[in-house]
């Protein structure tokens, strides 16, 4: 994260450039809910695509799954969510605000925001009560007789209950994994910090089934793999750390968990959790459903319940980390520019084609043709509105790594200028090579420039 970066700067850029909007705004907004605009969608899709590539496409031992959001309600009893997926809450009888009892040190008193809840003589906090985070709804046309169901608070359970299907059909034996990307829902009561904590969010979860005696080794392996993935896509190593959970923090299912934390403007906070869930989930679902969930080796007849290692990441939190790490302000010449130095494979738009003099028919025509050619293989924008400097700055703010400028010289020698977002270096390349040139640069390894 750049020094001096605040969440307000990210929120304002995200809004100004149409990445993220507060949800239901014309009705006054809904807390901890956001809508994603054009560039936000493209960025989010890139985060998910890179994750799926690393998990599924680049490996032989992980397959994909897309399970339902509304599952049989008994799944959430067996998983422990009905009984235990709770946050401890306290209410203040004076200011009528509600706080998480375990986060009081990070909250503001409703009357005196410089104080913590409970710190002033007027604060009157209730005892902590457990509050379940699952959203409930009903299936069926009649409210009273409908079956009570839950919106899933994590994607993982949809994977565990499909273990048998996938193990048989995909003909996999442990160690193997099942990866899923999809929406999850939690009735979070603490204020959101923009898209860091929201009521609905997308998760990228992978359950890796291993022989129990190899669980610790795979737990360590996945911590390293996941940190490496964030670095590969541009997060600076110094903004990442791994924090093992203290024994009293561990979830009911976990024998070891580590959080990959990112240094957000709000301080070090969880970006992704990696848990050794042991055999808890498969055992619990086998008992509750009456279906045996174990691995049986066809050859030796050996049978066992695999242990599970789970890297669980949030798409929106990853997106926020990529935005924070990429955000930069600098003075070039006598002008300030804001630039998102996103990894090219994460950036929403890869290239902008800019006709220098749009009213020149030759230039306009070549720019259109080049744009048509490029957009078949990558997200490319054509922009002929306003001064060239303003057009560059707009692309800088959405993180477009390259801009191709079509000018009078193009009409003479069929070349265009390619401008690099980070170095601002410009060189001329021939139009006929532009597509290949960009594809090569997209495929090349990329690291964020050192902070000035």
Interface positions with ligand ATP (CB under 6 A): 154, 186, 188, 197-198, 201, 203, 270-273, 312-314, 316-317
Closest CB 203 distance from ligand ATP, rounded Å = 5
Residue 197 or 421 having the CB closest to ligand ATP:
197
Q: Which residue is nearest to ligand ATP (CB)?
A: 314
Closest CB 357 distance from ligand ATP, rounded Å = 46
- Are 305 and 286 a contacting pair, CB within 8 Å? yes
Residue 155 or 400 having the CB closest to ligand ATP:
155
Closest CB 284 distance from ligand ATP, rounded Å = 17
Residue 252 or 303 having the CB closest to ligand ATP:
252
Packed helices 315-326 and 38-52: angle between N→C axes, nearest 10 degrees: 110
Residue 222 or 295 having the CB closest to ligand ATP:
222
Angle at 284 between CA 282 and CA 287, to 5 degrees: 105
Q: Is 146 left (phi over 0), alpha (psi -120 to 50) or beta?
A: beta
Closest CB 149 distance from ligand ATP, rounded Å = 20
Cβ neighbour number for residue 60 with a 10 Å cutoff: 8
Closest CB 272 distance from ligand ATP, rounded Å = 5
Residue 61 or 188 having the CB closest to ligand ATP:
188
Instruction: Spell out the long-range contacts of 249-258 with Cβ–Cβ below 8 A and sequence spacing 24 or more.
Output: 251/275, 252/80, 252/84, 252/280, 253/79, 253/80, 253/277, 253/278, 253/280, 253/281, 254/278, 254/280, 256/216, 256/219, 258/223
Residue 376, helix vs strand vs coil: coil
Residue 122 or 200 having the CB closest to ligand ATP:
200
Closest CB 80 distance from ligand ATP, rounded Å = 12
- Are 347 and 399 a contacting pair, CB within 8 Å? yes
- Are 224 and 326 a contacting pair, CB within 8 Å? no
Residue 193 or 400 having the CB closest to ligand ATP:
193
Residue 257 or 410 having the CB closest to ligand ATP:
257
Q: What b/e readout covers 309-334, taking b as 16+ CB neighbours within 10 angstroms?
A: bbbbbbbbbbbbbbbbbbbbeeeeee
Angle at 164 between CA 84 and CA 258, to 5 degrees: 45
Closest CB 273 distance from ligand ATP, rounded Å = 4
Residue 306 or 314 having the CB closest to ligand ATP:
314
Closest CB 198 distance from ligand ATP, rounded Å = 4
Closest CB 407 distance from ligand ATP, rounded Å = 45
Instruction: Spell out the long-range contacts of 355-361 with Cβ–Cβ below 8 A and sequence spacing 24 or more.
Output: 355/384, 355/405, 355/406, 356/388, 356/405, 356/406, 356/407, 356/408, 357/407, 357/408, 358/384, 358/385, 360/408
Residue 299, helix vs strand vs coil: coil
Residue 189 or 442 having the CB closest to ligand ATP:
189
Closest CB 362 distance from ligand ATP, rounded Å = 50
Residue 135 or 304 having the CB closest to ligand ATP:
135
Q: What's the full length of the chain, in residues?
A: 452
State phi, psi for 62 to the nearest 5 degrees. Answer: -135, 135
- Are 296 and 303 a contacting pair, CB within 8 Å? yes
Cβ neighbour number for residue 166 with a 10 Å cutoff: 19
Closest CB 44 distance from ligand ATP, rounded Å = 12
Residue entry with tokens 């997308």: 202
Residue 86 or 417 having the CB closest to ligand ATP:
86
Closest CB 16 distance from ligand ATP, rounded Å = 23
Dihedral, CA of residue 354, residue 356, residue 357 and residue 359, to nearest 10: 0
Q: Which of 390, 380, 385 is nearest to 358 (CA)?
A: 385
Token couple for 426: 């410009």
């Amino acid at each position: 994260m750049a020094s001096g970066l605040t969440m307000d700067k990210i929120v304002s850029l995200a809004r100004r450039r149409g990445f993220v909007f507060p949800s239901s705004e014309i009705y006054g907004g809904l807390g901890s809910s956001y809508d994603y605009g054009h560039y936000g969608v493209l960025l989010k899709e890139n985060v998910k695509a890179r994750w799926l590539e690393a998990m599924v496409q680049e490996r032989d031992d992980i397959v994909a799954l897309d399970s339902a959001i509304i599952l049989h309600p008994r799944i959430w009893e067996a998983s422990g969510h009905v009984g235990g997926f709770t946050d401890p809450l306290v209410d203040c009888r004076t200011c009528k605000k509600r706080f998480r009892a375990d986060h009081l040190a990070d909250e503001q008193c409703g009357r005196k925001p410089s104080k913590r809840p409970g710190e002033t003589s007027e604060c009157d906090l209730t005892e902590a009560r457990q509050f379940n985070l699952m959203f409930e709804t009903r299936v069926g046309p009649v409210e009273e007789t409908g079956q009570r169901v839950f919106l899933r608070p994590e994607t993982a359970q949809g994977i565990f209950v499909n273990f048998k299907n996938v193990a048989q059909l995909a003909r996999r034996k442990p160690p193997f994994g099942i990866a899923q990307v999809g929406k999850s829902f939690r009735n979070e009561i603490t204020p959101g910090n923009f898209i860091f904590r929201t009521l609905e969010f997308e998760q990228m979860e992978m359950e890796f089934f291993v022989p129990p005696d190899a669980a610790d080794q795979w737990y360590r392996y996945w911590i390293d793999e996941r940190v490496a993935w964030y670095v590969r896509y541009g997060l600076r190593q110094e903004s990442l750390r791994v924090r093992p959970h203290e024994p009293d923090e561990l979830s009911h299912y976990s024998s070891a968990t580590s959080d990959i934390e990112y240094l957000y403007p709000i301080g070090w906070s969880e970006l992704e959790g990696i848990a050794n869930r042991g055999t808890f989930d498969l055992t619990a679902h086998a008992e509750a459903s009456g279906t045996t969930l174990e691995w049986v080796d066809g050859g030796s007849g050996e049978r066992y319940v695999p242990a599970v290692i789970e890297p669980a990441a949030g798409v929106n939190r990853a997106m926020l980390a990529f935005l924070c790490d990429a955000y930069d302000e600098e003075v070039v010449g006598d002008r300030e520019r804001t630039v998102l130095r996103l990894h090219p494979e994460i950036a929403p738009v890869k290239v902008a084609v800019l006709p220098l003099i749009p009213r020149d028919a030759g230039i306009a025509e070549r720019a259109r043709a080049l744009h048509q050619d490029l957009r078949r293989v990558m997200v490319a924008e054509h922009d002929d509105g306003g001064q060239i400097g303003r057009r560059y700055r707009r692309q800088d703010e959405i993180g477009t790594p390259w801009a191709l400028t079509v000018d009078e010289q193009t009409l003479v020698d069929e070349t265009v200028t390619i401008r690099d977002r980070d170095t601002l270096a410009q060189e001329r390349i021939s139009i006929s090579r532009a597509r290949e040139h960009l594809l090569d640069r997209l495929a090349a390894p990329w690291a964020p420039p050192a902070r000035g």
